[in-house]
Structure 1
Amino acid sequence: MLVETFDPFNHLGISALVAAVPIILFLLCLTVFKMKGLHAALLNLAVTFAITFFIFKLPAGESVGSVIQGLIQGIFPIGYIIVMAVWLYKISVESGLFDTLRGSITSVTQDQRLQLLLIGFCLSAFLEGAAGFGVPIAICAVLLISLGFQPLQAAMLCLIANAAAGAFGAIGIPVGIIDTFGLEGVTAMDVSKISALTLPITNFIIPFVLIWVLDGFKGVKEVFPALLVTSTIYSASQAFMTIFVGPELADIIPSLITLGALTLFLKKWKPKNIFSLNEKEMKIETYSFGEVVKAWSPFLLLTVYVLIWSSTTFKGLFAEGNVLHNSIVKFVIPGSSINMSLDFIGATGTALLLACITTIAITKTINFAEGLALLKRTIIEFWTPIIMICAIIGIAKLMTYGGLTTALGEGVATAGKIFPLLSPILGWIGVFMTGSVVNNNTLFAPIQATAGHIIGTNPALLVAANTVGGVMAKIVSPQSVAIATAAVGMTGQESTLTKMAIRYSFAFLFFVCIWTFVLSLFL
């Protein structure tokens, strides 16, 4: 916060209400007014700039610097990651590897409800754990489309499924980062453990919701055994990881176990009726083990590189005095006091870049000239959603530096003993505005912990509620929606997708609010 006060009206309620204008306006633009995502983002950026500058008195240099920081971070690292992830997918398609990959999935089952569980849930959770930052939404939505799902339908299903893994995306960073805050009586492991009181419930339900959305109660009934396998194994194994191991592998290990278990189960069990969205029956082909491994190699390489980039050993190379420390570019945005740090080598996007380069190098059916042409096409396709993401992050930075997020947090915290009921909503707001559970916890975890101490509620519970509530906002976060629509070739349909998905976001948020309040009575 770079302003003198987060309460310019000397009335916290009024200040918090004004601070909420960008959020309320964004929701109205995407739902009621049916504006395109880019137009809604740019309009809200202008409105937020005016509120922070004229009402909250953020100096001009800091206001402009906030927008510049949003522009830079929207391009790098977020835009960088998105472009690299989609480029890897295009390389897989152009080289012919994707046809075999798709065939390896359809050879397990032709039932598209079960394909949704394998790809939209299990694979998505794995990619969220390994890479995060929209990678699973982009890749899995496109995979589903290739199997016959409608573009917006695939995007919505992937957004809902992502709620099962978002709390521990990108090697558990959203929870792991809590240890850097120095919060009194709250550690990352505390939050990891206490999240096991809520996440297993929502994670158990999500696969059922996915099938219900796709094929109604009839579909749930027909594939109930497979749903039971998926939900039970994933929720139980993630609970075990979060309680006894920690957040780092809480997505990766459970998703791999569930993917393997479901695949083995489907070799022995099949539903009575095969559900298909295609009029023509898909041809089943058989592949050797080597062909399947080669087809999956781009995403296996992605996983290996991301795990290396996320390792403590690799990150240690960038520490003060170590060999790669000077590779980090640090500067202050001119005219402001806002510091920037650009780590090109250590960025997750660079791990994805290496996966792309390695795939081209080891694949005979595509060369580097063709690969670069695909990269150019990807950049052209994604410039609009990346600009939208830049605007959204600019809004988030303005709200943070201008004191709007603090006003919202402090306003909600005045609820006293009823605060646990509202605690997840604060997390939902944080992720809706930033698109990131990491940023959400950075903004609001200290406020949640402080409120816990003030009202006598377990602060780790409230920080966990901030995380879980935030995950439910990923379903409709403008940043997530922009990534999803761009990935499925439906840029400009952000309002339609938001309206399709928002009921599920609110339903899960409602449960988390009630359940957090119940837990606060006993913890």
Structure 2
Amino acid sequence: MVPFVTAGYVPSTTAVASSLPLTALLGLLPLVLFFVLLGVFKVPTHWCAVASLVTALLVAVFGFNMPADLSLLSATQGAAFGFLPILYIVIMAVWIYNLTERSGRSEDVRTVFSVMGKGDQRVQALLIGFCFCGLLEGLAGFGAPVAIACAMLLAIGIPPVKAALIAMVGNALNVGFGAMAIPVATVAQLGDSTPEIVASTMGRITPFFLVWVPILLLAIYDGIRGVKQCWPPALVAGIGMAGGHFVASNYVSYTLTAVFASLLSFILVALFMQIWSPTTPESQKSEEAPEKLTVSRTVLGLMPYWLVIVIFGIAKLWTIGVDVPAWLASTDIHIEWPGLYGNLLDGSGAVSENPVFNLQWLSSPGTMLLLTGLVVSIAYGVFDSDGKFPFSFSAGIRTLGRTFYDLRITILTIAVIMALAYVMNFSGQTVAIGTWLAGAGASFAFLSPILGWIGTAVTGSATSAAALFANLQATAASAAHLSPQLLLAANEIGGGIGKIMSPQNLAIAATAIKEPGSEATLLRKAAPYSISFVVILGVIVLLASRGTLGFVIAS
């Protein structure tokens, strides 16, 4: 008989035959089904999401004994989160890119980056997919960096699938410090630690990856040839990002880690290109501009992107006279999800705060992108560069309407994926998986990053991965005599790596490169990088826990 609400629901990690392993394996079923349908059978992403959501609902009701109405209500809250803020951000980010295309100024954007990269698209890919994407991650997060970076890479002529891979892989190590390091603050608070210590530990681990990730991006784009011909600027980019992570997280401000490191990396590469020139084959040369750009055309062409940085910078950092971040946050509306709040309990029997929906309207990155798009539409309508780029504000609004229409399948897909994530989370499926892994004793140090990896792969958010597993990581650390800050740091770095193959991230990237339905291709190509990264991270954490790399643990 299907259970309905009679009392509060407490998720159980031993719901199936009183067995944790069986419960965890059943909890994995919806996620395994999604990736098998997508990666093996190449089923369209939205149907994969629908099938997995139905499976998760059935598992929640019949496997975890969650009342059917609470299961459905969990799905509705997840879908709402899919719309606000995630889809809000994605739609606005794609609109901004479409404005540059619709206005005709995308050619000027290509020319500007061609000049910076001395005509080599591989160097341009590093500047955008690694440095600029990391900067946006530090400021905004929530899907905006990959969406914008993919669009920009596409605009300069990078093949669509490679553009998506460069952005997703290049962004991964900054995700844990994304959106002014919200994931760090979350995991530290829920793991009974301090964010400064967790961030400091993270900033000593991420450089192990960051110094060579740009080299990997070259290989993704142009194979061995790209590495041989462009490794110097890639090395500069990696050293700049790695050094920036270490310095900012340990000595400046952990909230600015991704911003500081990305700016440092970008500046160092730009300066290095003043004294070094690549050997560029014809196939990797940017198209030469038919005419020399004026300063005004350069400023207007790049306006959507530099204005994004200005607006996000003010919204996230401005505290002189008016504390803008605090004021924006004060406009958030916290909604106790009807029918769910009060009926969902945590392990101690207390009312869970998870069914509180945070409606961000002014503080949402989507609103900042909307403001950017409106200002750009006005500017492009007023300044047409001597008639070369005729445009109007109304054309900008029509472009927004067209963007909504073009993204209709993506809107469905992401809403259903987030509904799936919430059902798995609220029913206890995700926690059961994590608790099972946490039973590995001292060797859990190797598995610790996999928890964050799974959490973000399911939810698409490193912050959500922190909320899911922070307490579990801290408890496991205490039981196995491991460093809590090490495991909390591993959770968030692993979460960033998991985002590479998160269904939500795949859908965002596929949309940004204007190839909806390419998620299966992206998954097959991206999964090896994500899996390899998390295995390497597990080895690093294991060695650190045993004292071999003890210096990475901050105190």
TM-score interval (norm. to shorter): over 0.9
Question: What is the correspondence of 1:142-221 to structure 2 with a 5 Å cutoff?
Answer: 142-181=151-190, 183-184=191-192, 186-221=193-228
1:87 to 95, 106, 114: 95
Give the partner amino acid of 2:97: Y
The equivalent of 1:22 in structure 2 is 30
> 2:299 & 2:288 partners in 1: Cα distance?
22
Question: What is the correspondence of 1:92-107 to structure 2 with a 5 Å cutoff?
Answer: 92-107=100-115
Do structure 1's residue 332 and structure 2's residue 328 form an aligned pair?
Answer: no
The equivalent of 2:500 in structure 1 is 475
Closer/same/farther in 2, CA of residues 117 and 335 from structure 1, 3 Å limit: closer
Give the partner amino acid of 1:232: I
**Contact 2:89/2:365, CA 8 A, preserved across alignment:** yes
**Deviation (angstroms), 1:34:** 1.6
3-state DSSP class of the match of 1:251?
Answer: helix
Closer/same/farther in 2, CA of residues 188 and 275 from structure 1, 3 Å limit: farther
**Contact 1:308/1:314, CA 8 A, preserved across alignment:** yes
Give the partner amino acid of 1:450: T
> 1:158 & 1:285 partners in 2: Cα distance?
30
**Contact 1:111/1:275, CA 8 A, preserved across alignment:** no
**Deviation (angstroms), 1:288:** 4.0
**Deviation (angstroms), 1:23:** 2.0
> 1:494 & 1:4 partners in 2: Cα distance?
32
> 2:170 & 2:282 partners in 1: Cα distance?
20
Do structure 1's residue 520 and structure 2's residue 545 form an aligned pair?
Answer: yes
Question: What is the correspondence of 1:442-481 to structure 2 with a 5 Å cutoff?
Answer: 442-481=467-506
Give the partner amino acid of 1:494: E
**Deviation (angstroms), 1:241:** 0.6
> 2:11 & 2:121 partners in 1: Cα distance?
56
2:327 to 317, 322, 328: 317
2:276 to 269, 274, 277: 269
**Deviation (angstroms), 1:275:** 5.6
> 1:382 & 1:308 partners in 2: Cα distance?
29
The equivalent of 1:141 in structure 2 is 150
The equivalent of 1:306 in structure 2 is 312
3-state DSSP class of the match of 1:330?
Answer: strand
Give the partner amino acid of 2:259: I
> 1:199 & 1:159 partners in 2: Cα distance?
16
Do structure 1's residue 248 and structure 2's residue 239 form an aligned pair?
Answer: no
What do residues 247-296 of structure 1 show as CA deviations (whole Å, max 9, x unaligned)? 32111122122212211211221123446347x85337543444423322
3-state DSSP class of the match of 2:18?
Answer: coil
1:257 to 244, 255, 264: 264
**Contact 2:455/2:495, CA 8 A, preserved across alignment:** yes
**Contact 1:58/1:401, CA 8 A, preserved across alignment:** no
User: How many percent identity over aligned positions?
Assistant: 33
Give the partner amino acid of 1:333: P
**Deviation (angstroms), 1:45:** 0.3
> 1:517 & 1:248 partners in 2: Cα distance?
26
Give the partner amino acid of 1:314: V
What do residues 352-411 of structure 1 show as CA deviations (whole Å, max 9, x unaligned)? 111111222233243221111101111111121121111111111111111112211211
> 2:393 & 2:299 partners in 1: Cα distance?
22
**Deviation (angstroms), 1:203:** 1.1
The equivalent of 2:77 in structure 1 is 69
The equivalent of 1:377 in structure 2 is 402
Give the partner amino acid of 2:304: P
The equivalent of 2:513 in structure 1 is 488
The equivalent of 2:127 in structure 1 is 118
What do residues 430-458 of structure 1 show as CA deviations (whole Å, max 9, x unaligned)? 01000111111111111111111111100
> 2:154 & 2:305 partners in 1: Cα distance?
18
Aligned residues: 515
**Contact 1:157/1:210, CA 8 A, preserved across alignment:** yes
The equivalent of 1:127 in structure 2 is 136
CA RMSD of aligned residues (A): 2.0
Closer/same/farther in 2, CA of residues 277 and 219 from structure 1, 3 Å limit: closer
* Further displaced range: 165-174 or 267-276: 267-276
Normalising to structure 1: TM-score of the pair?
0.94
Listed as ranges, the gaps of 5+ residues in structure 1 are none
What do residues 77-123 of structure 1 show as CA deviations (whole Å, max 9, x unaligned)? 11001111111122233334433222111112211211111111111
> 1:106 & 1:52 partners in 2: Cα distance?
52
> 1:439 & 1:383 partners in 2: Cα distance?
26
Question: What is the correspondence of 1:33-72 to structure 2 with a 5 Å cutoff?
Answer: 33-72=41-80
**Contact 2:53/2:419, CA 8 A, preserved across alignment:** yes
3-state DSSP class of the match of 2:58?
Answer: helix
> 2:431 & 2:167 partners in 1: Cα distance?
32
> 2:435 & 2:521 partners in 1: Cα distance?
33
3-state DSSP class of the match of 1:341?
Answer: strand
Do structure 1's residue 13 and structure 2's residue 36 form an aligned pair?
Answer: no
* Further displaced range: 38-47 or 113-122: 113-122
**Deviation (angstroms), 1:341:** 3.1
**Deviation (angstroms), 1:315:** 3.8
1:359 to 376, 379, 382: 376
Closer/same/farther in 2, CA of residues 386 and 120 from structure 1, 3 Å limit: same
2:459 to 425, 434, 457: 434
**Deviation (angstroms), 1:173:** 1.3
**Contact 1:103/1:285, CA 8 A, preserved across alignment:** no
The equivalent of 2:302 in structure 1 is 296
3-state DSSP class of the match of 1:168?
Answer: helix
Give the partner amino acid of 1:156: L
> 1:258 & 1:341 partners in 2: Cα distance?
34
The equivalent of 1:505 in structure 2 is 530
Do structure 1's residue 231 and structure 2's residue 238 form an aligned pair?
Answer: yes
* Further displaced range: 147-156 or 462-471: 147-156
Normalising to structure 2: TM-score of the pair?
0.88
Give the partner amino acid of 1:512: L
